[in-house]
């Protein structure tokens, strides 16, 4: 702001709390013109980012902007201007500036050429340090000092728990980027929720997103798979299927992809893409019926006719494989989810193959989810992501109440909101100088 030290104006101090993509991007925007310190509770920053990139870092997606923005559902309107300011092309250009080339995969997803997160993170941290960004790890944020009220014209005093006891740090502005509530062991534990609620900030309950679900099938007490299916197919992928759901509002949602059998139900890309309507339908109705088309390349009429052909002395398993291409896991799921009588009726069996009913009764726990829904309500922040009730305090990343499927959409929005928060801090600090 405009405090004078040794006869010259000092640079404003900004605390960025959280060292994930959103926090680091905010720090990058603020570097050079402010004195930035990135605080993180873990021994090093970017841990969830690194783990997310273990199987290939999916940075963003190459699909057209309208389709891209549709992935954010009800939050499209509030995220659209933020993503427009730092979109998929800007993200790829930013990575290239770090020396990381990217390519578009067959699915339209964008990856670094090396497919790994570590080289990008190393280059990024090196650039941040060269720009003067400081890092304070093993600093768990505890909130503000009791007598401070985040007054905009005076530095706020922040409290941190460290291995050496509690420490205080003053800041002229703060960016909160502590993540959502998934993957607590990597730092995103949602511990910030009560701290903000105590300040009167509306925070929607953190819920699992991009998660697996428990199935009501042949397991003990009617929950989970039968021992027979688990012994043969646990962890096996279910490929080339279409999932269809009629949600609690009567809307039909459909996605194509693949998934896999988990110990208690089903998970994987197709399920993650449907996780929001599945979760919300279970909350409203107590269960959600996911219909799986196990033979999307064949019509119901053709399947019925093929299955009606005499099978002679062949077993039902051979008949299903020969006439419908159904074998292995798909055949096992038919046995698990359809009544035995349906196998004697070609029309009913064909209907089951085209719309296998899978009753899902619960989302897996939040800490198992890839990401989380819920967080700070967008009504609590202005267009620059500053909390209206706490001037000078900005929020970015998964702390905000939005969700998106995997495919690069999560990271893109984290980078974009981090960029927006950083730009918002600069504008706010300039306004304070003008007022002074």
Clarify whether residues 126 and 201 are in a common domain: yes
pLDDT band for position 7 (50/70/90)? very low
Collapsing DSSP to helix, strand or coil, 434 comes out as helix
> For residue 4, is it within any domain?
no
Helical packing angle, 316-324 and 300-307, nearest 10°:
140
Q: In this structure, what are the phi and psi dihedrals at residue 371, rounded to the nearest 5 degrees?
A: -145, 180
> What is the helix (H) or strand (E) element at residue 400, kind and residue range?
none
Give the mean model confidence (pLDDT) for residues 139-144.
95
Q: Give the residues across from 158 on adjacent strands.
A: 144, 169
> What is the helix (H) or strand (E) element at residue 157, kind and residue range?
strand 156-162
Clarify whether residues 176 and 259 are in a common domain: no
Q: Which of 335, 363, 391 is the last residue of a domain?
A: 363
pLDDT, tens digit, for every residue of 350-381? 999 999 999 999 999 999 999 999 999 999 99
Q: Round to whole Å and give the CA distance between 257 and 400.
A: 28
pLDDT band for position 153 (50/70/90)? very low
Total domain count, the chain: 2
Q: Which pLDDT score, from 0 to 100, does residue 1 have?
A: 29
Clarify whether residues 64 and 149 are in a common domain: yes
Q: Round to whole Å and give the CA distance between 28 and 36.
A: 9
Q: Which pLDDT score, from 0 to 100, does residue 218 have?
A: 65
Mean model confidence pLDDT for the chain = 91
More confident of the two residues 53 and 166: 166
Q: Round to whole Å and give the CA distance between 110 and 260.
A: 23
Q: Which of 347, 363, 379 is the last residue of a domain?
A: 363
Q: How large a percentage of the chain has pLDDT more than 70? A: 94
Clarify whether residues 276 and 151 are in a common domain: no
> For residue 240, is it within any domain?
yes
Q: Round to whole Å and give the CA distance between 377 and 284.
A: 21
Clarify whether residues 386 and 353 are in a common domain: no
Clarify whether residues 21 and 106 are in a common domain: yes
* Among 261, 345, 352, 254, residue whose Cα is nearest residue 308: 345
Q: Which pLDDT score, from 0 to 100, does residue 16 have?
A: 98
pLDDT, tens digit, for every residue of 17-27? 999 999 999 99
Does residue 434 register a pLDDT over 70?
A: no
> For residue 225, is it within any domain?
yes
Does residue 349 register a pLDDT over 60?
A: yes
> For residue 384, is it within any domain?
yes
> For residue 5, is it within any domain?
no
Q: Which domain holds residue 158?
A: 11-208+371-435
pLDDT, tens digit, for every residue of 212-265? 999 997 655 677 899 999 999 999 999 999 999 999 889 999 999 999 999 999
Clarify whether residues 358 and 381 are in a common domain: no
pLDDT, tens digit, for every residue of 402-417? 999 999 999 999 999 9
Q: How far is CA 95 from CA 23, 148, 415, 419, in A?
A: 16, 39, 12, 14
pLDDT band for position 42 (50/70/90)? very high
Q: Which pLDDT score, from 0 to 100, does residue 2 have?
A: 32
Helices (H) and strands (E) in the chain, counts: 15, 21
Give the mean model confidence (pLDDT) for residues 334-358.
94
Give the mean model confidence (pLDDT) for residues 106-112.
93
Clarify whether residues 227 and 347 are in a common domain: yes
Find all residues with CB under 8 Å of 59, minimum gap 6, and list them. Answer: 91, 92, 95, 102, 110, 111, 112, 408, 411, 412
pLDDT band for position 145 (50/70/90)? confident
Find all residues with CB under 8 Å of 216, minimum gap 6, and list them. Answer: 222, 223, 287, 359, 360, 361
Q: Round to whole Å and give the CA distance between 62 and 386.
A: 30
Clarify whether residues 108 and 25 are in a common domain: yes
Q: Which of 329, 363, 397 is the last residue of a domain?
A: 363
More confident of the two residues 79 and 2: 79
Does residue 5 register a pLDDT over 50?
A: no
Clarify whether residues 107 and 149 are in a common domain: yes
Q: Which pLDDT score, from 0 to 100, does residue 296 have?
A: 94
Clarify whether residues 166 and 280 are in a common domain: no
């Amino acid at each position: 702001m405009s405090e004078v030290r040794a006869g010259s104006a000092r640079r404003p101090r900004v605390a960025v709390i959280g060292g994930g993509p959103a926090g680091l991007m905010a720090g990058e925007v603020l570097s050079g013109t402010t004195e930035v310190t990135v605080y993180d509770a873990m021994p090093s920053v970017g841990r969830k980012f690194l783990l997310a990139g273990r199987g290939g870092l999916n940075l963003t997606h190459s699909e057209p902007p309208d389709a891209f923005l549709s992935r954010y559902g009800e939050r499209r309107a509030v995220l659209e201007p933020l993503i427009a300011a730092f979109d998929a092309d800007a993200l790829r250009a930013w990575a290239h500036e770090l020396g990381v080339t990217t390519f578009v995969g067959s699915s339209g997803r964008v990856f670094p050429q090396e497919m790994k997160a570590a080289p990008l993170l190393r280059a990024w941290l090196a650039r941040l340090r060269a720009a003067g960004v400081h890092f304070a790890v093993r600093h768990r944020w505890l909130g503000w000092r009791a007598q401070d009220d985040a007054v905009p014209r005076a530095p706020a005093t922040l409290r941190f728990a460290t291995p050496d006891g509690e420490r205080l740090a003053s800041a002229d502005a703060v960016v909160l980027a502590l993540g959502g509530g998934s993957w607590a062991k990597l730092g995103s534990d949602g511990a910030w929720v009560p701290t903000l609620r105590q300040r009167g900030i509306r925070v929607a309950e953190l819920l699992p997103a991009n998660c697996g679900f428990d199935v009501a099938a042949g397991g003990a007490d009617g929950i989970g798979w039968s021992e027979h299916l688990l012994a043969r197919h646990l962890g096996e992928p279910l490929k080339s299927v279409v999932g269809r759901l009629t949600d609690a509002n009567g809307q039909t949602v459909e996605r194509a992809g693949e998934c896999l059998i988990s110990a208690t139900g089903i998970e994987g890309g197709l399920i993650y893409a449907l996780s929001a309507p599945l979760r919300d339908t279970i909350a409203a109705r107590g269960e959600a019926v996911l219909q799986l088309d196990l033979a999307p390349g064949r019509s119901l009429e053709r399947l019925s006719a093929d299955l009606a052909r005499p099978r002679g002395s062949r077993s039902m398993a051979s008949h299903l494989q020969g006439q419908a291409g159904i074998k292995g896991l798909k055949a096992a799921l038919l046995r698990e989810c359809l009544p035995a009588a349906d196998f004697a009726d070609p029309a009913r069996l064909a209907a089951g193959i085209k719309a296998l009913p899978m009753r899902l009764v619960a989302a897996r726990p939040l800490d198992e989810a890839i990401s989380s829904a819920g967080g700070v309500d967008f009504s609590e922040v202005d267009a620059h992501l500053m909390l209206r009730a706490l001037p000078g305090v900005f929020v970015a990343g998964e702390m905000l109440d939005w969700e998106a499927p995997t495919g690069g959409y999560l990271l893109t929005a984290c980078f974009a909101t981090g960029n927006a928060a950083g730009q918002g801090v600069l504008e706010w600090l300039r306004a304070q100088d003008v007022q002074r």
